[in-house]
Amino acid sequence: MNQFELLVCSVENYSHIKNVASNHVARSFYEKGIFELLLDGYEMYCDMDEGFLIGMIDGYMENTIDAEENDYNKYKERQAVLPKVLKEIAKQSHMTKIETIKAFYESKTGELFSQDDTQYYNKTAEELIELYQKETA
């Protein structure tokens, strides 16, 4: 798992388990330093399973309650496309991984991507990059 995949999987899995939109999770991870924690421990965390990462993040977020029902079920689809999108945005914008994730999830494209009902999770990486570029141009 590369660094973007680790960060995206952590955000999207946490979003699904806690029933919170991933753009809100990303903002919280940014504010609480979770992204730095994950990148600093990348060598250790890259091979850990979802349960370990969620438990570790819960400790830092002071949150242990999982959602009974979930409105964010397309997290696997988002995990599949988003690392490619972020890698390209980082390359074009000369931003760090954390800056790129923050910028994407704070954008309107990222907000819509975070919601299952918009079906942005069905868009290709190229379509998402184009939408993001138009929005931020």
Distances (CA, A) of 40 to 43, 48, 137: 8, 14, 32
pLDDT on residue 110:
97
pLDDT on residue 29:
94
pLDDT on residue 76:
92
pLDDT on residue 46:
73
Q: What is the pTM of this model?
A: 0.80
pLDDT on residue 63:
64
Q: Give the residue among 60, 61, 49 at the shortest CA–CA distance from 6.
A: 49
- What pLDDT digit, counting tens, does each position of 66-89 carry? 667 788 889 999 999 999 999 999
Q: Give the residue among 37, 34, 49, 40 at the shortest CA–CA distance from 1.
A: 49
Report DSSP state, residue 124. -
Task: Report the Cα 36 to chain-centroid distance in Å.
Answer: 14
Q: Tally the domains of the chain.
A: 1
- CA triple 82-116-11, angle to 5 deg: 45
Q: State the residue range of the domain holding 17.
A: 3-136
Q: Do 8 and 86 form a contact (C-beta atoms < 8 A)?
A: yes
Q: List the beta strands (DSSP E) in the chain.
A: none
Per-residue pLDDT of the chain in tens (137 residues, 90 and over written 9): 889 998 999 999 999 888 999 999 999 999 999 999 899 888 887 777 777 878 888 777 776 566 677 888 899 999 999 999 999 999 999 999 999 999 999 999 999 999 999 999 999 999 999 999 999 98
